[in-house]
Amino acid sequence: MKLIIKDLHKKYEDNEVLKGINFEFKEGKIYGLLGRNGAGKTTLFNCINEDTEINNGEILLEDEETRKLKENELGYVVSTPNVPEFLTAKEFLKFFIEVNKEDIKDIKELDEYFDFMKINKADQNKLLKDYSHGMKNKVQMLVNIVSNPKVLLLDEPLTSLDVVMQEEMKDMLKSIKKDHIIIFSTHILELALDLCDEIVVLNKGVLEQIDKSDLKNEELKNRIIDALKEE
């Protein structure tokens, strides 16, 4: 399975942010998407998610056939979580499953989902308005795990988490990657190197893959920083 981006262009008035991106993201890998502030990482995600209209190009999923992504095949975890704060985590998860049950395969017991995300009983019954930013991010990730999309876009999902939560989330992402295409946007270089199988730099409106295979960690960091400096 592949997510194929062909000649993708996006501009806002006279500012061309994406300048003909051609890239293939493959199943079974976590791609670290790096770029300086304003490079267009979120714009790229919004184009894939169809939250913004592209000016030119195609975004396709190659599976049994090559076609446009269906809505239920894409998950998007944004950096600022948006959850219904008047519900508890358990109420929200139950509601989400009920609304989306036609699209969710192999629905499990609620406790199984919460155990997978390491959300304890007390927190399950707490109102989401009383959750920390990091815990809201965990719940946002949880509903995407439940819906089990083929493509998962993660926009700075671990930034607000404490060290323990970060390690839990990293382990979780590694455990599900074999059945998904995961694109992980971050500005933390060490996190990308630790978690991601491939490193992709968004620079001057195009994507460049940095080959990790023959480089030691320090050499790889320098290559990435050099690519980002070219902006």
pLDDT tens, residue by residue, 87-117: 999 999 999 999 998 888 889 999 999 999 9
At 50, the amino acid letter reads E
| Number of domains making up the chain | 1
Report residue 85: phi and psi, to 5°. -70, -15
Average pLDDT value for the chain:
89
Residue 157: strand, helix, or coil: coil
Q: How far apart are CA 145 and CA 1, in angstroms?
A: 18
What whole-number distance in Å separates Cα of residue 201 and Cα of residue 217?
16
What type of residue sits at position 215? L
Domain span at residue 60 reads: 2-229
Output the domain CATH number for residue 198: 3.40.50.300
Question: What is the DSSP-derived secondary structure letter of residue 52?
Answer: S
The C-alpha atoms of residue 137 and residue 135 are separated, in whole angstroms, by 5
Beta strands in the chain (DSSP E): 2-12, 15-26, 29-34, 56-62, 66-68, 74-77, 151-155, 181-185, 198-203, 206-210
Lowest mean pLDDT among 2-6, 7-11, 33-37, 118-122: 33-37
Q: Which residue has the higher pLDDT, 123 or 217?
A: 123
Tens-digit pLDDT profile for residues 124-155: 999 999 998 888 988 998 999 899 999 999 99
Q: Report helix, strand or coil for 68.
A: strand
Residue 32 φ then ψ, to 5°: -90, 115
d(CA 36, CA 41): 9
Q: If we measure between CA atoms, which residue out of 71, 34, 31 comes closest to residue 51?
A: 71
In this prediction the pTM is 0.89
Exposed/middle/buried for residue 187 (C-beta within 10 Å: 0-12, 13-18, 19+): middle
34 within 8 A of 224, measured Cβ to Cβ: yes
